[in-house]
Amino acid sequence: MKIFLAQQNYHIGNFEANTTKIIEAVKIAKAQNADLIVFSELCVCGYPPRDFLAFEDFIEKSYAAIDKIKQHADSIGILVGAPARNPQREGKDLFNAAFLLYEKEVKAEVHKTLLPTYDVFDENRYFEPAYAWNIMEFKGKRLAVTICEDIWNLGDNPLYRICPMDILMQQKPDIMINLSASPFDYTHDEDRKAIIKANVLKYQLPMFYCNAVGSQTEIVFDGGSFIFDKKGNICKAFSLFKEEVDGLELNKDGTFDTPIIEKVDTLPNHELFPDKLMPSLNIAQVYEALIIGIKDYFSKMNFTKAILGSSGGIDSAVTLALACEALGAENVHAILMPSPYSTEHSVADAAQLSENLNNPYEIIHIKDIYESFLKELKPIFEDRPFSVAEENMQSRTRGNLLMAIANKFGYILLNTSNKSELSTGYGTLYGDMAGGLGVLGDCYKLQVYALAKYINRETEIIPKHIITKAPSAELRPNQKDSDSLPDYEILDQILYQYIEMQKGPKKIKSLGFDAALVDRTLKMVNVNEYKRNQFCPIIRVSPKAFGVGRRVPIVAKYLI
């Protein structure tokens, strides 16, 4: 039996485009005499559809799309993911389902059992878990079809009480097939290999694993679909961050006549989650994830041009380089906005960067605007000393100018804040925290430097001085980030232990960090939740990003 996988980039709610894409993949598989083609989880409507699932019209459009797709399931079987209605009165109204289409009919339907409700996932909010577990009969083969999380309940600390495959094995299947929408983070490619390997070794069956690719607002799907033989060897590995339609012929004895790509003994056996922040870990993958995150956000929203404030600092430099790669340099407008406290070299560095990238840029001096604010506010401020109010006024002036230009010309403002700043509240609401998309909001400062070095791996795109100089907001004379924050080499490690590893103050202190510094850092994180709650969507690249995947109260008294 020849089975193909379609690793594709879908658009949530764009049923027409998704259906067209699915049918095109079916035609490719038919041309190569495939018996079956497998698509990813909820491919018909796009994942995650979230509260769109509450609209009956949305569900009707999904069913209409399946009716259209099944007309192409004549000589070939098609496995697609879509929401399915629950006919029982009790429970949620929908299942997360996989439909087997063949002979222009729906031949079988499988429902997801394990519904993740953690981090970025909310499936228990919308779906009912499966009531029954049955293999699918197709062309003389018995298919054990599962959906994403259904194969992840292995290991020392299972999250759920059952494993669907344990039940399906009682029906003696020949093949495992999994439809997934498994998001990217910089550890997850290895996790994915490990969990598929664990399933194959446990059940001694070949596995066809189809994952989605592309970005949906903040969540990036990296693809990385696999075909494993029954011994746990990888016989086909799909590209990361690219659409691909391909497959293999499965012999009657469950083997493949193809060279092994990765042997079972070279694959990971456990989840990869570093004990400490490793800034360069899979930095090439992080780079690609950020590129596709920007590209898909713009294309799926029908935007073409971006704008950002270019300060001559490392964050705006990396954001600008990423945006130029994703959108084309001619579509990224950089605005340099020096204040009375900006250094000449910062302006020169920012200008040199744009010249290296060949993107348009302009210089707007904010001195007069800033001083007009001071003049108008003097009767209220009286003679109080210079403070954060005057500093933030400069940042908000820049934000106002950027948004004015964005509104006038139809640009989207890219935010340049990094995760270290967002964690500690080192940013100005409605100023440098303004934007439509947070490009670096899930990258600590150390990771931003690693990205800069990666961008410069072949030639100097980001001027060396931007990378080597001490970071500064330049909102007062001789200001440095280190005036307000601990050194990033220490700060980022503490933040990582608290945010990603979810360790409390006692455990973090036991790792050797200064106790007072730990207390101060964790307090900064928690007291600034109100700022992050007003922030734009952040492209997720880590196992724990700010946004929908991290939900803590704003009004609380914990470590404050």
Binding residues for deamido-NAD(+): 392, 421, 531
pLDDT tens digits for range 338-354? 988 777 888 999 999 99
Measured distance CA(496)–CA(393) in Å, rounded: 31
At residue 344, the pLDDT reads 81
At residue 256, the pLDDT reads 96
Catalytic, 41? Answer yes
Could you tell me the pLDDT band of residue 271, with boundaries at 50, 70 and 90?
Answer: low
From start to end of 211-291, where are the E strands? Answer: 213-216, 219-222, 226-228, 234-237, 244-249
Could you tell me the pLDDT band of residue 186, with boundaries at 50, 70 and 90?
Answer: very high
Measured distance CA(17)–CA(53) in Å, rounded: 18
Contacts of 37 (CB under 8 A, 6+ apart): 3, 4, 5, 6, 25, 26, 29, 76, 77, 78, 79, 245, 247
At residue 52, the pLDDT reads 98
Could you tell me the pLDDT band of residue 485, with boundaries at 50, 70 and 90?
Answer: confident
Predicted confidence (pLDDT) at residue 182 exceeds the cutoff of 80: yes
Tokens of 2: 């020849």
User: How many angstroms separate the first and last alpha carbons of the chain?
Assistant: 61
List 45, 148, 163, 536, catalytic entry? 148
Catalytic, 104? Answer no
At residue 18, the pLDDT reads 98
pLDDT tens digits for range 316-336? 999 999 999 999 999 999 999
Binding residues for ATP: 309-316, 416
Binding residues for L-glutamine: 118, 182
Binding residues: 118, 182, 309-316, 392, 416, 421, 531
Question: Interhelix angle for 283-300 vs 314-327, to 10°?
Answer: 60
Tokens of 553: 């109260």
* Long-range interactions of 195-199: CB distance < 8 A, separation 24+: 195/151, 195/152, 195/154, 196/151, 196/226, 196/228, 197/228, 197/232, 197/264, 197/267, 197/268, 197/269, 198/154, 198/155, 198/269, 199/151, 199/154, 199/165
Lowest mean pLDDT among 217-226, 286-295, 469-478, 551-560: 469-478
For 92-104, the DSSP string reads -SEEEEEEEEETT
pLDDT tens digits for range 189-212? 899 999 999 999 999 999 999 999
At residue 362, the pLDDT reads 97
pLDDT tens digits for range 387-428? 999 999 999 999 999 999 999 999 999 999 999 999 999 999
Mean pLDDT of 81-91: 97
Stated pTM of the model: 0.96
Predicted confidence (pLDDT) at residue 27 exceeds the cutoff of 90: yes
In the chain, % of residues over pLDDT 70: 99
At residue 492, the pLDDT reads 98
| Residue 463: half-sphere exposure toward Cβ, Cα within 13 Å | 19
pLDDT tens digits for range 109-165? 999 999 999 999 999 999 999 999 999 999 999 999 999 999 999 977 789 999 999
At residue 388, the pLDDT reads 92
List 21, 45, 70, 112, catalytic entry? 112
Nearest to 208 by CA among 223, 183, 225, 191: 225
List 21, 41, 149, 300, catalytic entry? 41
Mean pLDDT of 48-63: 98
Catalytic, 112? Answer yes
| Residue 329: half-sphere exposure toward Cβ, Cα within 13 Å | 11
CB atoms within 10 A of CB 103: 11
Could you tell me the pLDDT band of residue 432, with boundaries at 50, 70 and 90?
Answer: very high
The domains located in the chain, with CATH, are: 2-266 (3.60.110.10), 283-532 (3.40.50.620)
